[in-house]
Structure 1
Amino acid sequence: MKEVLIKAVMVAVAAFAAAASSPLRAQEMDGKSLFLKNCAACHQQTGKGIPGAFPALAGSKFVQGKGTDVASVLLKGRGGMPDFSDSLSDRDIATVLTFVRSNWGNKADGLSEADVVTLRTTLGIDPFGNSMMSNKH
């Protein structure tokens, strides 16, 4: 009986690892984790924001609009939102925006790391990792 239980647990762990290691699933999980760590305090786990304080991302025309416009906000900040140019890598910015643009009813294409690198250059923002340690967040 103990041997059967051990084998069942091993099969379950292997199945979980296989599901989590698929590239799409891994990116989705990374995007959600990044969102929860960096964005949810203001925009809430549901993406609905806090009316009058932090805008909703769920169902947002801006969020679903031009990807570079949304990425610019993360790179430069806007209004009361800080910039994340020194605290999130280009890959992380692309990953979190891909998550935000495809959740809570949003149906927009994701961004690639290359998209963010190009935008960073266009905006004249130093490449990620070239600045001294940041304490923005």
Structure 2
Amino acid sequence: MLRHAFPALAALGLVAGAASPALAAPPGQTLYADNCSACHQVTGKGVKGAFPALAGSPLVQGDGKAMAGVVLNGRAGMPAFKDDLSDAELTGLLNYVRTAWGNKGKPVSFADVSSARAQSKAGAKARGLQAH
């Protein structure tokens, strides 16, 4: 019985020797690695002439809501992530990038990200109503 419970207990961190939460990646780091690092690099330095650096970027360290809008909607060849990331995931991702590689961006709140998403949806509907 205990043999079958051990994997579940280990997954919850309830067994000695289980992975320590202190060793876990910061929130957003895994999302960055999975979604952003191929272009912006693990170091955040980007690829000159192709993908902008996030390390030291004024956009990254500036208005968090504006940064959320860029990630939600994409820009200049960057894909939009509005259909791929939840507000909670995006909040973690943005806060990781805003503090990684020496960046000094203020934390972005879940409410800021939700507001940016709502503003993005409203803007998309308004553009869709324009006559051609």
- The reply to whether TM is greater than 0.5 is yes
Corresponding position of 1:85: 82
C-alpha deviation, 1:12, in angstroms: 4.4
Which of 18, 35, 42 lines up with 2:32 in the alignment? 35
Corresponding position of 1:121: 118
* In 2, Cα distance between equivalents of 1:63 and 1:57: 6
C-alpha deviation, 1:121, in angstroms: 1.1
Corresponding position of 2:22: 19
C-alpha deviation, 1:112, in angstroms: 2.2
Cα-Cα RMSD: 2.0
C-alpha deviation, 1:17, in angstroms: 2.5
Q: How many residue pairs align between the two structures?
A: 109
Corresponding position of 1:68: 65
Unpaired segments ≥5 residues, structure 1: 1-9, 126-137
* In 1, Cα distance between equivalents of 2:17 and 2:22: 11
* Residues 74-110 of structure 1: CA deviation (Å, up to 9, x unaligned): 1111001011000111111111010000010101112
Superposition TM-score, scaled by structure 2 size = 0.74
* In 2, Cα distance between equivalents of 1:42 and 1:76: 17
Are 2:59 and 1:56 aligned? no
Letter in 2 for 1:17: S
Unpaired segments ≥5 residues, structure 2: 1-14, 123-132
Letter in 2 for 1:55: P
CA separation of 1:103/1:78 partners in 2, compared to 1, >3 Å: closer, same or farther?
same
Which of 41, 44, 47 lines up with 1:44 in the alignment? 41
CA separation of 1:90/1:19 partners in 2, compared to 1, >3 Å: closer, same or farther?
same
Check the 8 A contact 1:67/1:111 in 2, yes or no.
yes
Check the 8 A contact 2:66/2:116 in 1, yes or no.
no
Are 2:94 and 1:97 aligned? yes
Letter in 2 for 1:19: A
Check the 8 A contact 2:73/2:80 in 1, yes or no.
yes
Corresponding position of 2:108: 111
Check the 8 A contact 2:40/2:53 in 1, yes or no.
yes
* In 2, Cα distance between equivalents of 1:18 and 1:59: 29
C-alpha deviation, 1:11, in angstroms: 4.5
